[in-house]
Amino acid sequence: MQNADVAKIFEELADLLEIQNANPFRVRAYRNAARTIGDLPESVAEIIRDPDRSLEELPGIGGDLAAKIKTIVETESLPQLEELRTQVPRGVVDMLRIQGLGPKKAAALFNELKVSSLEMLKAAAESGAVAQLKGFGEKTAKTILEGLANIEQAGQRVYLAEAKPLADAILADLSQLPEVHEAEVAGSFRRRRETVGDLDLLVTADDSTPPMDRLAAHPLVEKVLARGETKQRVRLKSGLEMDLRVVPEESYGAALQYFTGSKAHNIVLRRRAQERGLKINEYGVFRGEKSIAGRTEEEVYKAVGLPWIPPELREDRGEFDAAEQGRLPKLVEFDDILGDLHMHTTATDGAATIAEMVAGAKARGLKYIAITDHSKRVTMANGLDADRLRAHWKEIDKVRQQTKGIEVLCGIECDILEDATLDLPDEVLAEADWVIAVLHYGLKQPREQIMKRLMTAIRSPHVDALGHLTGRMLGRRPGADLNLDEVLKAAADHETMIEINAHPSRLDIDDVGAAAAKSLGIPIVIDTDAHSVKGLDVMEYGVYQARRAGLEAKDVANTRTWAQFKKLL
C-alpha cells in the first residue's frame, strides 16, 4: 500500500463518520492522519517493517491510529471502513461535492428520502421531494440541481497552469479600477498547488459595486452565481468558479492569510493565537474585543511571534518550527534558473528545430541547455537509434559552434526499458554530454521490477539524472509503484540528480519527494521537457513546485553558472 492509498482510506472514513454525525474530534483525527501520511516523504510500510521505528513517532498518530495503519498496510482494507460502507452508500459521499450540501444535509437526504446516488438526488430534486424536506425548501432544491448540472465540469480541479492565465487577467483588470486599492488571488492558487479547484480573489475598495460590476461583465465570466454586499461568486467560461470578496483595509492581511490557507496551517496558527490569549479570524487578530493586527499578513504572523511564512510553505509540514528557529528557507526564484536540461526538437516529436530551440532559450535569458530527444523505444515519437542519435549530435554541434552566449549540450532522454536495461548501449551514452533516464512504458509493472529498472539507471556511470521519476500524469494516470526512500538513497549514493519536470501535467517529482531529495543533498534539476519554443515557458511551474518543497537556489542544480554546473557534472 502506498501512503496515498492509506490516506485515501482515512479521508473516506472521516467523510462517512461526518455524515453519521460522529464525534467531530474523532473525524478531525482521521483527517489529520490522512494529511500526515499523505505528506510523509517515507513509506509507512517501511516504518512498520523497521523494528527500531514506530508509527507513533509521527505527529498526531497514537496507538489506535497506528494499529489501523498497520491493518491497512497488511490487509489493504480496514474493517471499520468496510462496515461504514455498508451503512452509507458511496453516492451519499459524492453529494458532498455539491456546494452548500454538507454532511448533515447529505445525511438527511439519505435517511429521510433514501437518496443514495447523484442520479437519485437529481430525481428527488426535480420531483419536489427535496423542497418538501424539513430544512431544505425550493431554494436548496434549485441549488442542488444547479450543482448537479455543473458538478462534472466545475467540480474538477484544473492544472495550475490552466487557472493562472485566467486569474492573472481578472486580477489585472480589477486592479486597474480607481476604487480598488489592493487585490490578490488567495487559496490553493496562491500556495501554487499543482491543481486548483476554484479561485478566491480578495480586494480592498472604497465601494464594492465597481469591482463586482467589473467581474460580472468580464469577458472570461460566463455567469454570476451569487452576489451579496461584499461577496460575489461567478462561473468562468472555462468552468472554473471564482469568489470575489471585498474586505476592509484594516482586515486585508488577516483575510489574505485566512483564505490562502491551507486549512491545516490555519489550525496551527489559530492554536498559537489561543495560547497567547488571542483570536485569529479573517477579520483580524483580537485580544478580547480589541483588534491588534490584521492590516498585513506580516502583522498577523508577528502577533503570534513568527516571521511571515511564504504561501507555498503553508501546509503544516514543519514551517512553524522552521519559522520559530529562524530556519525558513530563502525560496528559489524564477530568475535564479540559468539552464534547462530537457527539451525536444523535430528530430523526434518536437515542433521546432535545434536552432529554433537554442534561439528561444537564449531569448529567455538561459545560459545553457541540453537538447534531449527521445531514444528509439519511443517509436511513436520517432525515437533515435545509435546511428541517428550520433548524426543528430553532429547537427547540434554545428548549431552550437555558430551560436554565442549560450552553451548547448548534446543530450538524450534515454528510456529505461521494461527488462531493466537502458535503451542505448553504454558506448553511445558515454559520448553524450547529458543523459536523462526515464520510465515511459511498463508503469504498471510490479514494484520489484520498477525498482530494478530505476536502479539500473542510477548505477549507470553515464546517467546524470532521473527524469519525471514516477511517470505520473496529473488527473490521468498514477505514477509507477516505487519505493521512494530507496530510490533517493541510491541516487544520493551514486550522485544522480532528480528532475522536477515542469510540464503542468507532470510536475514530477512532486513537492514532498523533492523535499525528501533535498534532505539527502541530492541536486534537483528543474526542466521544461519543452516540445516547442513556447514550451520553454512552463519553467515557472517547476519553480513553484520547488518552492513548495522548500528548495533554495543552492538546492537546484541549474541555478549554477555554466562553469559551476560543468564542475558539478
Following DSSP, what letter does each residue of 413-475 receive, concatenated? EEEB-TTS-BSS-HHHHTT-SEEEEE--S-TTS-HHHHHHHHHHHHH-TT--EE-STT--BTT
Instruction: Tell how far CA 33 is from the center of its chain.
Output: 19
Which stretches does DSSP call E strand in 198-342? 199-205, 221-227, 231-236, 241-246, 279-281, 284-287, 290-293, 339-340
Q: Please tell me the predicted confidence (pLDDT) of residue 150.
A: 58
Q: Please tell me the predicted confidence (pLDDT) of residue 153.
A: 47
Tell me what the mean pLDDT of segment 347-359 comes to: 93
**CA 464 – CA 495 distance, rounded (Å):** 8
306-310 long-range CB contacts below 8 Å, 24 or more apart? 306/272, 309/265, 310/547
186 — phi, psi (to 5°)?
-100, -150
Helix/strand/coil for 133: coil
pLDDT, tens only, 98-131? 766 878 889 899 988 999 888 899 999 999 999 9
pLDDT, tens only, 521-551? 999 999 999 998 889 999 999 999 999 999 9
Instruction: Tell how far CA 376 is from the center of its chain.
Output: 32
* Residues forming a β-bridge with 422: 416
pLDDT, tens only, 48-97? 998 999 999 888 899 999 999 999 999 988 999 999 988 888 888 888 87
User: In angstroms, how far is the first alpha carbon of the chain from the final one?
Assistant: 36
Query: Is this structure's pTM higher than 0.85?
Result: no
**CA 208 – CA 230 distance, rounded (Å):** 6
Share above pLDDT 90 across residues of the chain, in percent, rounded to a whole number:
76
**CA 456 – CA 454 distance, rounded (Å):** 5
Q: Please tell me the predicted confidence (pLDDT) of residue 154.
A: 38
**CA 565 – CA 208 distance, rounded (Å):** 52
361 — phi, psi (to 5°)?
-70, -40
State yes or no: pLDDT of 165 exceeds 70: yes
User: Which residue blocks in 325-367 are alpha helix, DSSP H?
Assistant: 354-363
Tell me what the mean pLDDT of segment 184-213 comes to: 96
What domains lie within the chain, and their CATH numbers?
1-88 (1.10.150.110), 158-246 (3.30.460.10), 251-324 (3.30.210.10), 334-568 (3.20.20.140)
C-alpha triplet 495, 500, 503: angle, nearest 5° = 150
